[in-house]
Amino acid sequence: MLRRRLNRLLGGDERRVDSRTIYVGHRSCSATEAFIPPKFCDNRIVSSKYTVWNFLPKNLFEQFRRIANFYFLIIFLVQVIVDTPTSPVTSGLPLFFVITVTAIKQGYEDWLRHKADNEVNKYLVTVLEDGGRIQKESEKIKVGDVVEVEEDETFPCDLILLQSSRDDDTCFVTTASLDGESNHKTHYTVPDTEKDLESLNATIECEQPQPDLYKFVGRMHIYKNDQEPTVRSLGPENLLLKGATLKNTQKICGVAVYTGMETKMALNYQGKSQKRSAVEKSINAFLLVYLCILVSKALVCTTLKYVWQSKPGQDEPWYNEKTQREKETNLYLKMFTDFLSFMVLFNFIIPVSMYVTVEMQKFLGSFFITWDKDFFDPEIKEGALVNTSDLNEELGQVEYVFTDKTGTLTQNNMEFIECCIDGFQYKYRDASSELDGFCVTDGPVSKLQQKAGREKEELFLRALCLCHTVQVKESAEQGQGQRDGLIDEVDGLGVDGEVVHPLQEQRGFIASSPDEVALVKGAMRYGFTFLGLESKTMKILNRNNDVEMYELLHVLNFDPVRRRMSVIVRSKSGDTLLFCKGADSSIFPRVRREEVERIRMHVERNATEGYRTLCVAYKILSAEEYAQADAGLREARLALQDREEKLMTVYNQVETGMSLIGATAVEDRLQEEAAETMEALQGAGMKVWVLTGDKMETAKSTCYACRLFQRNTELLELTVRTLEDGGRRREERLHDLLLEYHKKAVQDAPPVKAGVTRSWSSAGQDYGFIIDGATLSMVLNSSSESNSNRYKNLFLQICQNCTSVLCCRMAPLQKAQIVKMVKNSKGSPITLSIGDGANDVSMILEAHVGIGIKGKEGRQAVRNSDYAIPKLKHLKKLLLAHGHLYYVRIAHLVQYFFYKNLCFILPQFLYQFFCGYSQQPLYDAAYLTMYNICFTSMPILAYSLLEQHICMEVLLDNATLYREIAKNAMLRWGPFLYWTLLGVFHGLLFFFGVRFLFSNPALQDNGQVFGNWSYGTIVFTVLVFTVTLKLALDTRHWTWINHFVIWGSLAFYVFFSFFWGGIIWPFLRQQRLYFVFANMLSSVSAWLVIILLILLSLLPEILLVVFRKPRGPHARQMKHRLPSSGTSTIFMLSQTASTHSFSWSD
């Protein structure tokens, strides 16, 4: 890494700007030239963050970037340098504990990364060298080495495929660990390479490493005995990526082009940007308030100290004369050191251990999601997955949900429904109803029971059989595949008994998308069977059981911008044909106008019924047209720069003037419980937006099926179609429509009562909003800046007043733009994105919380998400139950921490008024150190992990409960003020209550009086018992763990006090607490005061709970709110019955 950066700085990278040249097998291309091997990085993978040498400095630097840690470090240094009232140990020990725990956690995680790296780097690989095969460790592979890989092995680096054991010079690969797609992809060897790789003399010129998995540009020069070298283009179909696995191919040989940290896999390994939760921001705001309280306390005490000392006789009493050095000290310097001393004395008001407790709560709490049995999906045999535990509480704060449609709301499981050929509808019923399995139900009445001509039918079916990239799994391989459990799980594309011809009964298909297989199977039903591709020849079995052969000349691949794909084939009779299939919006403009009308009606009707539609077109290419296209494609494929753009230009030139043959309809079923889940989310007050690349009609029908749009919802449409209706310029029409919709949805809408959405409000009209990609880019990128902002604001206001929004025909980047726009809108609402494919990654990374679905489109969404769930229906429990509870727990934890530290330090502050502001500590150093670490930390941790103030079943049944905690309700300034005032009340009560006791001079049997350490110990005892019992009062869900830590903490405090004061410790210079605690408990008055003060402190709480009437719509569910023992599926902890619960206040 360092070497690469230095090279870049010192200009060593100048000659490496655009491309690199690789000598295959490290052989020079001409015998006359001396061979100087170029330098590239080795094949070592480093994903770890630290090494043994830099762990300490790097880790400490990262930890001290946290404000609280840095603050405590400063306090600790002040204690060491300045003569302060408390020992440096009091702040040093807690800080050391926090830093050590965090360092151990991070070190362990990094050790696991080192271990994983070593496994990869030490893996043995076969390399062809000097005519023989040798085994090498993976990290020793160099660029230019020829590597051999066998079936089911993983590629050790990025290779160009030179040789395959398959006859058709292809190999199959799965890239599940890269982009998560489990389907088989086909890769091709470079044409014209030698069979004997030893004698191959070639160089490869290719682009510098870059992270895009689907792009690769290069060319290979092959030298043969003084002839002119032949040049072959290299593309992504020749590149085998590190991390992918070889399938259905015995072995391959390839030459290494990118190694180590320059492989595409390593370049894609990037730390996700750190997402911070709203709770963390609240903590920082509260910390600042407490920091201000701390500084003001120190200022007050310093000022009063000098006011008090200015009175005669107070500054230097007769029994405490100043030394010469003290008299000579500068007054201002002394004031400053006094101020620092007070800061140190009161610094415990800032809770350093809170960060550790919050970290542990998040880390341990995330296991409950992983363990939840309700999230387990028997189909994929997996449960939920937590990639980021930092955002648990955000799940309880979601206001906007952005969901993908295909594979998220629907199953991405395609089934061929019907097709339309030349304007006639063909619906598949039972093949026996007619000889060829066609059944005509549609079309003009005069032509009833007519069909498109037989020629058109056959042309359409040939197009379905030829225009795709599907591979056939041979029956022998398939049998093996089934034994390996491959065929159905990996591809899920075996044929389900729909086979027309007995020969094909054992046929399975491998494809990159479920749509393609559905269409090939659809053609099979009607008697045209695709037999496979062998060395550039596609074979079809037609209705007459004759095998037709076509030479595959070019594949014009599908891409999301063109939204279509084509193949160019040559038939036996020598005709060159182009077959094209794609979305109607991309095919209709490229065919004759008169053909469109006949088919548009069918396409729109199918889309309204919720089917996915594709249009099919063809074109006969003349010899000149083909020659021109062929030359253009070859030239574009050899380009090293802008290859994509050049190819796109050629594709667009070829795919014009086509004839439309027909259209297909494929059904994608809804996910189970999709409608119920969406309804629950809307009931919880969340706004659901559907962002999809699909057609408007299809997406609209899905929204109706999911109950996002109801029958009475008025739809406001802002699409290319509505913009063209008015006949004026698009920009003007856009402006008018936005204003019209704004008046309808925003200005004329009745004011919404807080916390009411459509299921409860029947008075107002519900609006749904629909926008497409083209219009969205007009809204976001308007010609003038002022217009753009105005449109954006109007658009946002309309959307925020609609119950649901549907954005169709969206590019992946537009999805992220929408999420970003809502995320940065007024009030910064919390957003959640959920999707299942690689095209959803950008919006998953953009939202506050990203959720991946472990669907059929691979695992890229899952790998980039914060949480992953097997099915959409699990989102309901994840948000309404887990999210709600996580938020309530952590909000209580934060408020409680500030409260208990205020109770702790306020008596110390008040004590200064009675000891001449002499910085005398009220508590012993051991108590100061142990208060946050031992005496009060475990009960709140247990509470924040196990508390269920409302049981899960009730939370799931009543989605409206989610709104009670919306918009960070428990961490607003109101609740914070309440907890702060409670802390002040308790602190005053502890201090003055004990002072009242001390007004009685004889507190012991022998008439002796208590000293200042007894005073502090009584205050401290009342404090520890009160804050712990306060938490016990707040606990609604008791388990044996809660009992153990609450009563255990109190017992430990008593035991420690006896132990600490009962032994003479040799390492202490002065032992302040020697027998103080035992002596204190011998006094009946002390017992009485301790018990009375604890009761008095908690009395308001108890009275409030007893006398407050249950309010709100959920009063009748009061009895449900206390879960009986062990109700939740996630708490696999033996639980005691809820006998100890106090009655609940809403």
Give how far Cα 1020 sits from Cα of 922, 924, 1026, Å: 9, 10, 10
CB neighbour class for 807 (10 Å; exposed up to 12, middle 13-18, buried from 19)? buried
Most distant pair of Cα atoms in the chain: their distance: 124
**Among the residues of 866-972, which ranges form H helices?**
874-877, 884-911, 925-930, 937-946, 952-957
CA–CA separation, 1057 vs 1021, rounded Å? 10
Tell me which residue of 775, 772, 752, 777 sits closest to 763, measured CA to CA: 752
3-class DSSP state of 1069: coil
CA–CA separation, 125 vs 1121, rounded Å? 61
End-to-end CA distance of the chain: 58
CA–CA separation, 518 vs 63, rounded Å? 54
Q: Which residues fall within 8 angstroms of residue 842, CB to CB, at 6 or more apart?
A: 812, 813, 815, 816
Phi first, then psi, for residue 406 (nearest 5°) are -70, 125
- Cβ(704)–Cβ(756) below 8 Å: no
DSSP assignment of 163-182: EESSTTSEEEEEETTTT-EE
Q: Which residues fall within 8 angstroms of residue 449, CB to CB, at 6 or more apart?
A: 440
CA-based radius of gyration for the chain? 37
> What one-letter code names the amino acid at 343?
M
Residue 314: how many CA atoms within 13 Å on its side-chain side?
Answer: 13
Residue 547: how many CA atoms within 13 Å on its side-chain side?
Answer: 8
Give how far Cα 433 sits from Cα of 87, 440, 442, 454, Å: 95, 11, 16, 18
Residue 751: how many CA atoms within 13 Å on its side-chain side?
Answer: 2
Q: Which helix (H) or strand (E) holds 531?
A: strand 529-534
Tell me which residue of 917, 830, 985, 857 sits closest to 399, measured CA to CA: 830
3-class DSSP state of 348: helix
- Cβ(946)–Cβ(1131) below 8 Å: yes
Q: Which residues fall within 8 angstroms of residue 1121, CB to CB, at 6 or more apart?
A: 949, 950, 951, 954, 1036, 1144
Determine which one of 404, 668, 836, 866 is catalytic.
404
Query: Dihedral of the CA atoms 580, 840, 666, 672 (nearest 10)?
Result: 170
CA–CA separation, 511 vs 519, rounded Å? 11
Catalytic status, residue 559: no
Residues with active-site annotation: 404
